[in-house]
Amino acid sequence: MSFDVNKLNILYETPLEYMPSISKELGIEFYLKRDDLTPLGAGGNKLRKLEYLVQDAIDQGATMLITVGGGQTNHGRQTAAMAAKYGMKCAILAVDEYPGELTANMLLDRLFGCELYLKKPDGRPGSVQMNELIADVTAKYEAEGEKVYFIPMGGSNVLGALGYYDCAVELDRQAKEMGLEGARVIDTVGSTGTYTGLYLGLKDIKSSLHLTGIAIMPFSEKSLAQLENHLNEVKDHFGMDVEVDRADFDIELGYVRGGYNLPSEEVRKAVGLMASKEGILMDPCYTGKAFAGIIDMVREGKIKQGEKVIFIHTGGMPGLYTPAHRVEFEKELMDGVHIL
Ligand SMILES: *Cc1c(COP(=O)(O)O)cnc(C)c1O
């Protein structure tokens, strides 16, 4: 259960909290694991992965972190904050349109001193353009004498997976302390690093908790096969005594609502429900969409009345301020603004 790797150990345990008003509203016992409260750069799930990745970068003598994502990447923002804290340069690379203003995470990235490279999509496959961009920008900084450490999308590689293995161990202990044995744990599935760590961690310690993922972007048979390969890769790398079995993958694919990060009225309603009942902010790309999925699962009877549900709040709040979402929220919320 402990692996031969170094990590920074800078994150505190995050709270596991009961949500009384949402529980009442949905007729379930609803808890949030507050990984939105991890301590750097406005928080979020990527910091658990970055504890391992940034330590590895330091161990290798890196002077700079380069990572990739969409222009609005939460992972990039958390990487930029870690780079700031550990005195490294940082660049985020995206094949994406400039939204016409420095919004949301982009503004925060710049405050952390991080450089942003946005390359306009030119019709070729995104991965081809991205690989070119990575090669060009890395070469530029290496020529300036930087030692670059590359972190993949979402920090979701073999080493990064240990971040959510740790979370699984922490959560299992908290759940026992709160009498939540057998509860269902729900996480948002994007680049799958969070699901990977939780799956392996919960299985390795023979936890009573059941893991359900909710996909927030299209997830095909091929993605499932890739996930299975990745789980096996992580398990073999660290010698975990776990059987990876596709039969116990439990990932809901039906709540994608059109595609990655697309504005959706149901998601805005779910974000509004959590905010107005519990004073907690979710985001329109990941956690709000997964929470909208939870609401539907309760309505459809997939989650039973009275069931104990722990949702991992993975952060992402700055996403509320991206233009596409903000404009829609504004239309719906202006009726309570009284300009006198
Ligand atoms: C990245 C992210 C996720 C998804 O985590 P993965 O490990 O990429 O699957 C969920 N929620 C938020 C807010 C994120 O930024």
Q: Where are the domains of the chain?
A: 16-44+158-334, 46-155
171 Cα: distance to centroid of ligand 1 (angstroms) = 18
The CA 215 to ligand 1 mean position distance, Å, reads 10
Give the Å distances, CA to CA, from 313 to 62, 69, 91, 225, 282: 31, 20, 26, 26, 8
pLDDT in tens, 140-164: 999 999 999 999 999 999 999 999 9
- How far is residue 126's CA from residue 103's CA, in Å, rounded to a whole number? 23
CA 156 to ligand 1: nearest atom: 7
The yes-or-no answer to whether 16-44+158-334 and 46-155 have a common fold is yes
Nearest CA-CA partner of 50 in 86, 69, 78: 78
- What's the gap in Å between 293 CA and the centre of ligand 1? 15
Please give the share of the chain, as a percent, with pLDDT higher than 90.
Answer: 98
Angle at 249 between CA 270 and CA 313, to 5 degrees: 30
> Is the pLDDT score of 2 beyond 80?
no
Is the torsion defined by CA of 30, 35, 37, 42 positive or negative?
A: negative
Checking if the pLDDT of 242 tops 90, the result is yes
Average pLDDT, the chain: 97
Q: Are 86 and 121 in contact (CB under 8 A)?
A: no
**Which atom of ligand 1 approaches the CA of 319 most closely?**
13
Looking at ligand 1, which atom is closest to the CA of residue 49?
A: 7
Output phi, psi for 281, to 5 deg.
-95, 130
Say if strands 64-68 and 210-215 run parallel, antiparallel, or are unpaired.
unpaired
- Å from CA of 193 to ligand 1 middle: 8
Cα(108)–Cα(113) distance, integer angstroms: 9
Classify residue 13 by its DSSP letter: P
Q: Could you give the C-alpha distances from 134 to 56, 106, 118, 332, in angstroms and in order?
A: 20, 19, 11, 40
Is the model's pLDDT at 3 over the cut of 90? no
Query: Residue of the nearest CA to atom 3 in ligand 1?
Result: 190
| Fold of the 16-44+158-334 domain | Rossmann fold (3.40.50)
286 alpha carbon to ligand 1 midpoint, in Å?
7
pLDDT of residue 106: 97
Q: Residue 304 gets which letter from DSSP?
A: P
Best residue for ligand 1 mutational test, from 156, 159, 188, 252 (most atoms within 8 Å of Cβ): 188
pLDDT at 226: 95
Q: How far apart are CA 269 and CA 233, in angstroms?
A: 39
Q: Which atom of ligand 1 is nearest to the CA of 36?
A: 13
Each residue's pLDDT tens digit, 270-280: 999 999 999 99
- Label residue 4 by pLDDT band (50, 70, 90): confident
Protein residue with least CA distance to atom 15, ligand 1 = 74
pLDDT over threshold 90, residue 53: yes
Domain 46-155 classification at class level: alpha beta
Q: Which of 67, 73, 194, 311 to mutate to test the pocket of ligand 1 (most atoms within 8 A of CB)?
A: 194
Residues 195-201 have a mean pLDDT of: 98
192 CA to middle of ligand 1, Å? 8
pLDDT given at position 1: 62
Percent of the chain with pLDDT over 70: 100
Query: In this structure, are residues 207 and 182 in contact, taking their beta carbons and an 8 Å threshold?
Result: no
From the list 254, 311, 315, the residue with the least C-alpha distance to 284 is: 315
Distance from Cα 29 to the centre of ligand 1, integer Å: 24
| 194 CA closest ligand 1 atom index | 7
C-alpha span between 81 and 118 (Å, rounded): 19
Q: Is the pLDDT of residue 307 over 80?
A: yes
Q: Ligand 1 centre and the CA of 191: distance in Å?
A: 7
The whole model's pTM is what?
0.97
List all residues whose CB is within 6 A of at least one atom of ligand 1.
44-45, 74-75, 154, 156, 188-195, 283, 286-287, 314-316
